[in-house]
């Protein structure tokens, strides 16, 4: 398995023992620094599947070598034009090699698969924290059971313990997938689904919608941030508090502009008169990893562009272009960036 770097953006090396004999796969994995890789698990569920993958991989390599050896043997030694034809019908060879041996291998693999299926169904210990995730076209609404407050496209979890994730969709089907932590679970319209995450090490794990959900399916990413329990508790407490008050004149003017604009019809900033629920809660917007669920980085320039016309950034998203006065835009950006 790969090394345990704390950050997903950091380049990782592929360790030698796994790599031996991987050939092309190794070569390609080698170029894969920073990937949200299923083969670089940071969680209990993904680790189980990664271990299973390597078993399946080596079995496949072995059988492939067997089949190719027979094929090459035939192509090399069975082409002599004066070769005497063998008219026998070696049915026993076909049955043993084509059905008997595969049956034994498949039975074993199926048993291991059942074991993993059972292991993924429930975490080993009952989770203390429950995250309520709702999929929207095309972003993730994130709440915590028993906590008033919400964020979007970012899920904080305590490290070293299982966390329950309850999944709903507000519109079409989506699929909740954090490759390094846990296999995916679909969000089904009209139903509630549950999965769990158990991060083994602190870090940031990229997740992405894995069920085609329309125009901007490509831009429906999120980040799972795993932190030590104390840090997580402090963050969760802040989630329920009012958003920070403006510090500077620019931020104050920005808040004024924000509250007088159409923004409040769709967005919430806790502790203000903005209580819309159509779009993401903005109370912690300044601290988020991206804008538009992974569409662009979260910085002043992109934020300004998003407000002015997000349709050029992420065509088809639900937010119409905003007629914000060019003079007021820097203040608005300053205010929104102060929301952390």
Partner 1 sequence: MSSSTAAERGTGPDPAAMAALDSHWAAAPTLRNWFATVDHKRIGRRYLVTAALFFGFAGASALAMRTQLAGPEAGVLSAREYNQLFTMHGTAMIFLFSTPMLFGFGNFLVPLMIGTRDMAFPRLNAFGYWVFLFAGLFMWASVPAGAAPNGGWFAYVPLTDERHTPGLHLDVYTLGLLFLGISTTAGAINFIVTALKLRAPGMSLNRVPIFVWAIVATAFMVLFALPVLNLDNALLFLDRRFDTRFFEPERGGNVLLWQHLFWIFGHPDVYIIVMPALGIVSAVLPVFCRRGIVGYPLVVFSIVAIAIISFGVWVHHMFATGLPQLSYGFFSAASTVITIPSGLQIFAWLATMLFGRIVLSVPFLFVVGFLVTFVIGGFTGVMFALTAFDQQTTDTYFVVAHFHYVLFGGAVFPILAGIYYWLPKITGRMFDARLGRWAFWLVFLGMNLTFFPMHVSGLLGMPRRVYTYSGGLGWDALNVLATVGAYVLAVGLLLVAIGVVHALRRGDPAPDDPWGGDSLEWATSSPPKPYNFAVIPRVRSLHPVWDPATAESTGPGADEDRILAEGRRTLFTSEFDGRPERAVEMPEETLKPLVAAVGLLVLFLGLLFAWYWIAAGSGALVAGTLATWLWPPHRAPEEAGMTT
Query: Please, which of residues 35-74 interact with partner 1 by CB under 8 A?
Result: 35-39, 46, 48-49, 52-53, 56, 60, 63-64, 67-68, 70-71, 73-74
As to burial, measured by CB atoms within 10 angstroms (0-12 exposed, 13-18 middle, 19+ buried), residue 51 is middle
The reply to whether 94 sits near partner 1 by the rule CB under 8 A is yes
User: Shortest gap between Cβ of 220 and partner 1 (angstroms)?
Assistant: 9
Residues 108-137 that bind partner 1 (CB under 8 A): 109-110, 112-114, 116-121, 137
Read off the DSSP letter of residue 97: I
The reply to whether 104 sits near partner 1 by the rule CB under 8 A is no
**Spatial CB neighbours of 327, under 8 Å, sequence gap ≥ 6:** none
Number of residues that bind partner 1 (CB under 8 A): 96
Question: Bridge-partner residues for 155, per DSSP?
Answer: 224
Nearest by Cα to 193 from 283, 131, 268, 237: 131
Residues 287-316 that bind partner 1 (CB under 8 A): 294, 315-316
User: Shortest gap between Cβ of 150 and partner 1 (angstroms)?
Assistant: 23
Nearer to partner 1, 103 or 325 (CB): 103
Span near partner 1 by CB under 8 A; candidates 150-158, 208-216, 236-244, 299-307: 208-216
| Residue choice 166, 168, 201, 217 for contact with partner 1 (CB under 8 A) | 217
| Residue choice 134, 151, 208, 310 for contact with partner 1 (CB under 8 A) | 208
Nearest by Cα to 120 from 27, 213, 42, 184: 184
The reply to whether 19 sits near partner 1 by the rule CB under 8 A is no
Residue 3 in contact with residue 12, Cβ under 8 Å?
A: yes
Nearer to partner 1, 149 or 292 (CB): 292
Rg (C-alpha) for the chain, rounded Å, is 26
Residue 315, phi-psi category: left (phi > 0), alpha (psi -120 to 50), beta (remainder): beta
Nearer to partner 1, 167 or 339 (CB): 167
Nearer to partner 1, 242 or 316 (CB): 316
CA–CA separation, 285 vs 288, rounded Å? Answer: 5
């Amino acid at each position: 398995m790969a090394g345990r770097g704390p950050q997903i953006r950091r380049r990782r090396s592929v360790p030698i023992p796994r790599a031996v004999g991987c050939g092309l796969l190794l070569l390609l994995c080698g170029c894969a620094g920073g990937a949200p890789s299923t083969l670089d698990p940071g969680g209990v569920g993904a680790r189980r599947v990664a271990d299973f993958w390597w078993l399946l991989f080596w079995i496949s390599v072995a059988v492939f070598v067997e089949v190719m050896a027979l094929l090459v043997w035939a192509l090399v030694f069975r082409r002599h034009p004066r070769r005497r034809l063998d008219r026998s019908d070696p049915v026993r060879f076909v049955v043993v090699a084509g059905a008997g041996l595969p049956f034994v291998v498949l039975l074993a693999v199926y048993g291991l698969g059942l074991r993993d299926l059972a292991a993924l169904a429930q975490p080993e210990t009952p989770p203390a924290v429950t995250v309520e995730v709702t999929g929207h076209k095309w972003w993730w609404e994130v709440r915590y059971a028993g906590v008033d407050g919400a964020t979007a496209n970012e899920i904080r979890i305590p490290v070293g313990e299982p966390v329950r994730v309850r999944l709903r969709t507000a519109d079409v089907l989506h699929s909740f997938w954090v490759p390094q932590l846990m296999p995916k679970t679909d969000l089904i319209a009209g139903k509630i689904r549950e999965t769990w995450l158990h991060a083994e090490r602190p870090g940031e794990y990229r997740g992405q919608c894995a069920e085609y959900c329309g125009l901007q399916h490509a831009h429906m990413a999120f980040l799972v941030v795993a932190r030590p329990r104390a840090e997580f508790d402090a963050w969760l407490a802040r989630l329920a508090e009012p958003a920070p008050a403006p510090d500077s004149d620019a931020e104050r003017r920005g808040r004024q502009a924000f509250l007088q604009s159409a923004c409040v019809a769709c967005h919430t900033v806790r502790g203000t008169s903005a209580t819309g629920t159509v779009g993401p809660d903005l109370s912690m917007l300044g601290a988020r990893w991206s804008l538009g669920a992974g569409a662009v980085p979260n910085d002043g320039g992109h934020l300004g562009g998003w407000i002015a016309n997000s349709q050029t950034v992420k065509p088809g998203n639900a937010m119409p272009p905003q007629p914000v006065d060019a003079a007021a835009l820097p203040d608005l950006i300053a205010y929104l960036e102060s929301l952390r």
